[in-house]
Structure formats: structure tokens, C-alpha cells
Amino acid sequence: MSGISIITIENRRLYPVKAYDTEENNEITPIIDIDSIYDLLNRREKIFFISNQYDQYGRELDNFYGYIGSEDIKALFYVNDEELDRNLSAIMTLSEAAKKWGFSDGSTIRKAIERGKFERHEIKQAGDIWITTYDAMERVFGKIKNEENELIIYDDFESNLYRLFLKDVQRDYLREKVRERNLKENEILYNNIREVLISALVAIRKGNKVIIKNKRSNKTKQVINTERELFVFIELFSRRNLMTELRNNQLLEDFKKI
């Protein structure tokens, strides 16, 4: 099932977007397709939108209710639920993709689009803005430049996160002796996880990227360029049910001390 999504100038992601004409004969009329939204934006300064709202890393924000004008919109496009479920941050504008792949700007990617290097399903045009994904960028441009110098973390790291999550949840239901052993095992797991993430923080502070890859396919799932992006990546563990909220807060507090 597909719906309408918006990337704003501030890089907020709105999805699924519901647009309304609030000025025609004092009635509130829903607008159900992108062409009609563009047509109304050409006739009106702003139109009313209601939507779920996320930041550029996929972190959920307060729901959006309000007016948006064409000058507030970076991209307006159709997206299906499967794409959003995989990873909100996997959808990038060309300028964002250029930074991840080490290009000076999006012109190299635009030229590749003009030459037909991308498949139709790999790119979308939203007004004057093009959007793409990690899979598409890797197929067309290959590995990130100088990838051998970057820190690569494989997603099987998440299995340790999930093991810790399950053991933390079970802890209060265990017998005392078993609970003591469980606590020791949990701390070992936690320290292993923390060491991996500390190595990511050190790499970023040295000016390197952190690349999250699928263990089986070796495909890039995410690229983390800054400390802020790393902190958001960690903050989302509890929301993805990879870590309890209590443990996630502990990890974030530990990182603030580094």
C-alpha cells in the first residue's frame, strides 16, 4: 500500500500525509493525489496537512498538524509501507546521498540518472528533487570511496542487542541464583555492545565514517557520519525493541561521559 510522503526544508519526514483544501466554500475537502496537491499549492500560498512526523534519522516526532507552502517542501512523493518499514533513514535526497558517498554535491548522481544508470524503481522525482536509497547508490556507484579506511559494523551485532533485551526482560522472573548468573551474563553482553559502539565513536572523531552492513549480502544498510547521527542510532535501539528503555538510557548516559 502506498501513500504520500513529504521531506521538508528542515529535513523532517512526513508520512502518511493527508492534505486538505480548507478554503473552498468554507468546506474541508481531502486531496488524495500528488497532482492535486501541486495544483492547489500553485493557487494557494499554503495548504493544510496532517501527518505522522519523523526526523531524518527515522526518530518519531510529535504528529504534524498545520499549513505548509511550496517553499517549505523539499520533496513530495509516493512511498509504500514496505519501504518505510525497512528503514525511514534509507530514503535520501541526492544531496544527502552525495555526502554519504563522498561526492562534493549531487551533480554526479544527477548525471548518472540522466544516463539511465538507475532503474526506475530505484529513484523518484518529487518536484525538482530526486530521492534514492542505499541499495540503489551501492548498485550504481559501488562501495563508498575509501571504504577500507572506514569502520564497518555488521548487523549481526544486533543479535547481541536482542539477546541482552530478552535477558533483561526475563531478569525479574528468575529465581535468585539464576538471576545472579543472568546479571553477570547481561553485563558481559552490555560491555561487548558498548565496546563496539565506543569504537564507532572513536572512528567518527577521527573523521571516518561508520558503515552498517548486512552480514550475509555485504550490502550497506546505513552510513553514520557524525556523533549526532551515532547518538540517534543508539537512541532508537529501545524503539526497535532491541534494548529495554532502562538499558538504552544507561548506554546513552555512558556515552555522554566519553
Instruction: Say which residue, 90 or 235, is predicted with more confidence.
Output: 235
**What pLDDT sits at residue 199?**
93
**What pLDDT sits at residue 27?**
58
Q: Which among 139, 127, 159 has a CA at the least distance from the CA of 217? A: 139
Instruction: Say which residue, 120 or 220, is predicted with more confidence.
Output: 220
Residue 202 pLDDT class (50, 70, 90 cuts): very high
- Domains in the chain, ordered, with CATH? 2-86 (no CATH), 89-141 (1.10.10), 147-256 (no CATH)
Identity (one letter) of the amino acid at 251? L
Q: How confident is the prediction for the chain on average, in pLDDT? A: 82
- pLDDT tens digits, residue range 143-199? 888 788 889 998 888 888 888 888 888 766 656 666 667 778 888 889 999 999 999
